[in-house]
Amino acid sequence: MFLAKDHCLGLAFHDIHIIFFQGKGLFAKKNINKGDVIFEETPIVSTQFLWNELYKYKACEYCMKSLETAEEQARRLSTNPHLSLPHPECDITDQSPYVDCPGCQVTYCCELCRKTALDEYHQVLCMGPSRLSEDNDHPLARLQETWRNIHYPPETSSIMLIVKMVALVKQAKDKSTVLQKFSQFVKNTVNEEDEIVHKLLGKQFQEQLELLRQMTADFIFEENVSQWFTPEGFRSLFALIGTNGQGIGSSSISVWVKNCEDLAIPDEEKEQLDAFIDQLYEDMDKVSGTFLDCEGSGLYLLQSTCNHSCIPNAEITFPNNNHKLVLVAKENISQGEEICTCYLSECDVSRSRHSRQKFLKENYLFTCGCVKCLSEADQADVTSEEEEEDEENDME
């Protein structure tokens, strides 16, 4: 029997329905048109990746909003200090509300973010003046450095998600409410947890995981979640964020580019602008590679219920240049139809069924049975030469 209920958690959404049946799924309560916003959601917790932060990508500590102007960002990422972006009116970055934590000088995009972070978790996590010292020996700084030495780019998760989860519980007046939110995420079996953690941390994950567990407990142990600090509980936390963590990206340049696309200018000028933007991305990619965007991860209650399809009818966007997630319909969705997103990148989704299945099995521990995969079931389980080359490069 289906157990159906509306999933009201103080989120901005309409026309959707969650049905629990051997897991979670998101279903349309009414017809939804292509381009409609299905819901907007902010995460319970989010964090910038530590390598991203180390590479000087400036972001609000709370909402991950990009803090540079588009031109500042373009100059840094291309290492061209004299670069000037055309149509500066398309850069809507307003740096006037920025404010620092008076203790550790970490930056927020506005006073509301600073106060919210302080009220939720930052009282516990503030490193004070030691954060800016060259020989910062704060326990949190040591933990972050250990994580970077264990988990090289590209990052797929962060120890800071776990640290912030514990800090949220530690600072909460009503701890049961916070714990109830975390309890709603998909759980994994012991074998699945081992696979996920192995994928996150590599071949020596058991020793690495134990080191991270001990350092985290020494820094921020919380009696109300003491089970999180056992070897089994800590592994479960990593598996939880490995399964449910949603990648987040923000970029002042992306906002500038989007606004440039909406300009009402002559065709010849439009072609010149497009060529400039193409060259800009090419120049930045040569210098900065995977660090073009401010990247991080977050835990979203509603988004985590969306199942995967290789031909999704909805897509996750971050149009506000921060961690607010907006789910948009890619196609018309009928009442009762499941709303699915794609867990693959645009490049990966165009690959063979075998390659897609392999990636999803390794990273999300399921075999995809979407319409596209079923229609390609008679394909040979081999990858193209290009895919085989990529796999060989990944192993080097």
- The count of other CB atoms within 10 Å of the CB of residue 140 is 22
Residue 3 pLDDT greater than 80, yes or no = no
Nearest residue to 189 via CA among 357, 355, 23: 23
Task: Judge whether 244 and 365 are in contact, CB under 8 Å.
Answer: no
DSSP reduced 3-state for 135: coil
C-alpha neighbours within 13 Å on the C-beta side of residue 275: 6
- The count of other CB atoms within 10 Å of the CB of residue 331 is 14
Q: pLDDT of 246-261, one tens digit each?
A: 999 899 999 999 999 9
Q: pLDDT of 343-361, one tens digit each?
A: 887 777 778 888 888 888 8
**pLDDT of amino acid 185:** 86
What pLDDT band is residue 2 in, cutting at 50, 70 and 90?
A: very low
Domain ranges of the chain: 45-247, 343-391
Q: What DSSP string runs through 53-103?
A: HHTT--B-TTT--B-S-HHHHHHHHHT-TT---S-GGG-----TT-EE-TT
CA dist., res. 17 & res. 35, Å (int): 18
The kind and range of the H/E element at 316 are: strand 314-317
> Is the bond preceding 154 in cis, omega lying within 30 degrees of 0?
yes
Residue 141 pLDDT greater than 60, yes or no = yes
Torsion of CA 132, 135, 137, 140, to 10 degrees: 40
Find how far residue 365's CA is from the centre of its chain.
Answer: 19
Task: Judge whether 270 and 252 are in contact, CB under 8 Å.
Answer: no
Helix axes 353-364, 190-201, angle to 10 degrees: 100
Lowest-pLDDT choice from 332-346, 360-374, 381-395: 381-395
Question: Which burial class, exposed, middle or buried, applies to 296 when counting CB atoms under 10 A from its CB (0-12, 13-18, 19+)?
Answer: buried
Q: Indicate yes or no: pTM above 0.75.
A: yes
Share of the chain above pLDDT 70, in %: 90
